[in-house]
Amino acid sequence: MIARQIADAVNQDRLLESIDTLATFGARGDGGVDRPALGERDIEARRFLIDRARALGCSVHVDACANLFFRREGGAALAPVMTGSHIDTQPTGGKLDGCYGVLAGFEVLAALNDANARTRRPLEVAIWTNEEGTRFSPGAMGSSAFVEPSRMARYADVRDSERITLSAALDHHRRAFPGLPQRAQHEAAHAFVELHIEQGPQLEDAGVPLAVVNGIQGVRWYAFHVQGTAAHAGTTPMPLRRDAMTLAIALRQELDAIAHELGRADTRVTFGRWSIEPNSINTIPSAVSFTIDFRHPDASVLAAFDEHAHAIAQRHGARIEALFTHAPVAFDASVLACIDEACRALDARTLHLTSGAFHDAMYLATHCPSGMIFVPSIDGISHNPAEATDAGHLVLGARALAHCLTTLCND
């Protein structure tokens, strides 16, 4: 069977070497990578991959958000199958987040070439611009603009910390790669599969090498603002105090309890950012703000939490501020079945899990049938120079991707 043949043609050394090579663009002294979207190091990394794609016989296209598309033609005039991820990194990023998915896509292109395979459908490997959102906010700009091009009008004026607009950064990218043809805007893909590191501990914890990702959790971000009264730590009797931190902690504990009650084992709730006024050792806190990041795969749980959060804030006399919301994404059943089949064919055990992190596939899912594969992250660590995955797992993930993409390309 051709899918198994392509999976077997995946070359471990070539894959691992490509990961190390890409990591030289923006390499940090500590083994990590610092490669902001559309910066000089990103441009050089893109140049390296464009050259490599051309050497593999692929055409290279670009779109309005500098997403790059490396296309291996198929035998029929059909919609392409897509894969890919991003190559921008966090400032203290690792070698794998995003890059692994792009380079595994390249490895599939190479494996298809090695096997002299001709698929029915074209295969496209994409690099989505500015997924991390570290240089320009929000993240996943490239993939969200790809599926909804009208977003570009809003994104164009977004500025980085040096006041450079996205628009100027895109001009710079155009000048770096003059003459790159534009991708046909309205060519809908047949399917999209993104391979990624888990960035969490579940696979490692279960001792399982691959995950079939059912979907992406929805998220609600809020800030809570609690008012107290500043007063002298020595002179104010306890019963007369209005300590904003005491009030904030009571609010946090109640929000935490309701998040667990509503969401059960699927709840992810984090109170990550705190601001305390006046933040003085001998003054009772007068004002506290804190954030909550609540994630869950079930939209009705997110909506119920939203109601409770407002009620709890009101009961505590706190101000609630909704900062961000994203609905849960359920990936396509037929794509997931195809991933399952690939893993079975390779005798790889799998977990089915829901991604807690956002990925470009979150937006692609609104464009075409999509799915994701995860490989384990050692100690669950990501966004960190220590980010790592066993070589065997990296190769197995790429083989599963090759199997699945080949199957989809021959649909």
Residues annotated as binding site for Zn(2+)?
Answer: 86, 97, 132, 196, 383
Residue 275: CB minimum distance to its own copies, A: 8
| C-alpha to C-alpha distance for 364 and 125, rounded to whole angstroms | 13
Residue 205: CB minimum distance to its own copies, A: 7
Q: Looking only at residues 314 through 333 of this chain, which bind its own copies when binding is defined by CB under 8 A?
A: 323
Q: Does 389 bind its own copies (CB under 8 A)?
A: no
Residue 402: CB minimum distance to its own copies, A: 25
Q: What is the DSSP letter of 79?
A: P
| C-alpha to C-alpha distance for 133 and 156, rounded to whole angstroms | 14
- Of positions 40, 75, 148, 279, contacts its own copies by CB under 8 A: 279
Tokens encoding 379: 């100690």
Residue 181: CB minimum distance to its own copies, A: 37
Residue 364: CB minimum distance to its own copies, A: 18
Residues touching its own copies, count (CB under 8 A): 53
- Using the minimum distance from each CB to its own copies, give the nearer residue, 202 or 410: 202
Look at the block and give the residue holding tokens 């977004």: 158
- Of positions 22, 141, 245, 339, contacts its own copies by CB under 8 A: 245
Contact 197, 389 (CB under 8 A): yes
| C-alpha to C-alpha distance for 195 and 403, rounded to whole angstroms | 12
- Of positions 270, 300, 314, 325, contacts its own copies by CB under 8 A: 270
Instruction: Give me the DSSP letters along 113-148.
Output: HHTT---SS-EEEEE-S--S-SSSSSS-HHHHHHH-
- Using the minimum distance from each CB to its own copies, give the nearer residue, 185 or 235: 235
| C-alpha to C-alpha distance for 123 and 401, rounded to whole angstroms | 12
- Using the minimum distance from each CB to its own copies, give the nearer residue, 171 or 274: 274
Q: Does 221 bind its own copies (CB under 8 A)?
A: yes
Q: What is the largest CA-CA distance in the chain?
A: 83
| C-alpha to C-alpha distance for 267 and 297, rounded to whole angstroms | 9
Name the H helices within 34-130.
Answer: 40-55, 99-114
Preceding amide of 138 cis, omega within 30: yes
Annotate each residue in 354-383 with x if it binds its own copies (CB under 8 A) or - if it does not, as one string: -xxxx---------------------xxxx
Residue 115: CB minimum distance to its own copies, A: 35
Binding stretches for its own copies (CB under 8 A):
198-202, 205, 217, 219, 221, 231-238, 240, 243, 245, 249, 252-253, 260, 265, 267-274, 276, 279-285, 291, 293, 295, 323, 355-358, 380-383
